[in-house]
Chain A
Amino acid sequence: MSRHLQLRKFLVVGALICTAFGASAATPAASVATLPSASIYHLSTPLTDQNGKQFKLEDRRGRPMLVSMFYTSCQFVCPMLVDALRETEAKLTSAERERLTILMVSFDPEHDTISVLKATAEQRRLDPSHWTLARTDAGNVRKLAAVLGIQYRALANGEFNHTTSLILIDSAGRIVGRTARLGDSDPNFVKQVKATMQSDPQ
């Protein structure tokens, strides 16, 4: 009898080991009960910023955010992307600017190390209080781009083909606006940013 129980226990242990391995599959963030179903914060992307500080995508919950993807060795579009973000920011009131965070994630984790991101942030004089340049591993780059609807492909010469978008995320992580305009601010997009700041609880 007790022998029987013991055997069953071991059988269960064996099965549990198996289940544990099966269940270790990488999965989205766990405690997301209150997030809207369409929130990008279901994706738990581990990120490192230009100062080497680690954070998760979902840490950005609670404030509206502009997000974009780029790579630092990009000579043409990416500087214009920064310009577009700056110009958009410039159209906001200082109170609105205070609350808006800006996140740019690199397509190119191999070359965009923390020190490269740091140098770029300093060179472009990006205010570190609400601008973040960040990196993650290649697999997470693909997932984040998929969630944001950004397409990219690595080329043999080290460049990346990519679609360029500035994406507006509300405080719960919903994508509420996007623009492909570069170098300048898009008036419709600025309107969407302001509307989101107003409707979003402080």
Chain B
Amino acid sequence: MSSRRGPKPHRIAPQWLAAFAGLLTCASGAQAVEYVRIPAGTFSSVLASDAAPGPAAYREFDMRTNPVTQGEFQAFVSANPQWRRDRISRTFADAGYLQNWRSALVLANDQADRQPAVNVSWFAAQAFCEGEGARLPTWSEWELVAAADGSRRDARDDLAWRARILSWYARPATQALPLVGGAPNVYGVRDMHGLIWEWVDDFNALLVNPDSRSAEDADKLQFCGAGAINLQQRENYAVLMRIALLSSLNASDSTSTLGFRCVRPTH
């Protein structure tokens, strides 16, 4: 009070403070967006490579700690109106796209902004991630992080853990989705299991038949046989169900339990 009119040597011009506040408004929306480093290593996927079975090397990448929430997706749609449900091309999203919202820009209720974004097509998910300088994870990236529990990078041989994540699949799909923010796994990534199904970048390529090089009827060869025979860890139902679901989808499809998260390459 005393020095109200006195000189302030390090005073920041109020207009810059205001501009900063404007930026902060934007940053606060993005504050919850956090990516964590997944270090390089080796991993045995359930989808063994035809040419090189066994553990495969992968490079480091950053993964979003949380699935994208409805609140975050609402902000994206507001800024990119071509992704509104009433403006979207049928090429990019089916009729179910964002149908769980009250209207084109309004979520169903007050809690909804912290629920995972669902009813989104692969194209919409990919566009959202591009807006974060990211992309959808590949299946391998997703599977790698999903193998971890709270203390181990690869908990897949633990039958109790498997049973726990499997129990989620018994939850009726009609129940309201829980909020994002479950317990973190060893990488600090949340909700890989027990909340939603998730899009991956190469969702439609997981069971392509190695013999599609033959001249026989490709429809007959498309899904059966060799692709399935190559699956490893056949008792890991929770992960195999994901592959089965993803392989059944088209990129414009959307369902009430299918959401996504993003990854950023570090190189």
Contact = CB atoms under 8 A, between A and B. Distances in A.
A125 B19 CA distance: 61
B26 A156 contact: no
A176 interface: no
A15 B26 contact: yes
Given A25-B76, A26-B130, A155 B18 contact: no
Interface stretch (A16-24, A92-100, A115-123, A188-196): A16-24
Contact of B212 (A25, A145, A164): A164
A74 interface: yes
A156 B135 CA distance: 21
Interface in A1-50: 3, 6-19, 21-28, 30, 32, 35, 37-40, 42-43
Interface stretch (B105-113, B141-149, B217-225): B217-225
Interface residues of A, number: 58
A157 interface: yes
B212 A22 contact: no
Given A153-B208, A155-B50, A161-B209, A6 B23 contact: no
Nearest to B93: A37
B251 to A, nearest CB: 4
A180 interface: yes
A70 to B, nearest CB: 12
Interface in A139-160: 139, 142-143, 145-147, 149, 151-153, 155-157, 159
Contacts of B251: 143, 146-147
Interface stretch (B159-167, B197-205, B237-245): B197-205
Nearest to A184: B215
Interface stretch (B3-11, B78-86, B169-177): B78-86
A22 B131 contact: yes
A11 B82 contact: no
Contacts of A139: 135
A61 interface: no
A11 B19 contact: yes
B204 A10 contact: no
Nearest to B207: A151
User: Which range holds the interface residue count of chain B?
Assistant: 35 or more
B16 A10 contact: yes
Contact of B123 (A18, A19, A143, A162): A143
B19 A163 contact: no
B123 A146 contact: yes
A90 interface: no
A15 B78 CA distance: 14
B211 to A, nearest CB: 9
B252 to A, nearest CB: 8
A182 interface: yes
Contact of B89 (A9, A19, A26, A32): A32
Given A37-B91, A155-B51, A163-B222, A17 B76 contact: no
A22 B14 CA distance: 25
Contacts of B152: none
A147 B91 contact: yes
B74 to A, nearest CB: 12
B212 A163 contact: yes
A162 B130 CA distance: 25
A26 B213 contact: no
Given A11-B18, A17-B23, A77-B212, A156 B131 contact: no
Contacts of A27: 80, 82-83, 127
Contacts of B23: 14-15, 17-18
B58 interface: no
B36 interface: no
Given A25-B131, A151-B208, 20 more contacts: A7-B18, A14-B23, A17-B26, A18-B25, A18-B26, A19-B79, A25-B128, A32-B89, A38-B90, A43-B92, A76-B214, A146-B204, A146-B250, A152-B208, A155-B51, A156-B50, A161-B209, A161-B212, A164-B212, A182-B218
12 contacts: A10-B15, A13-B22, A14-B26, A15-B23, A22-B26, A30-B82, A32-B89, A43-B92, A157-B52, A161-B210, A162-B212, A180-B217
Interface of B: 14-16, 18-27, 49-52, 56, 75-76, 79-80, 82-83, 89-92, 122-123, 126-128, 130-131, 135, 201-202, 204-206, 208-210, 212-215, 217-219, 222, 250-251
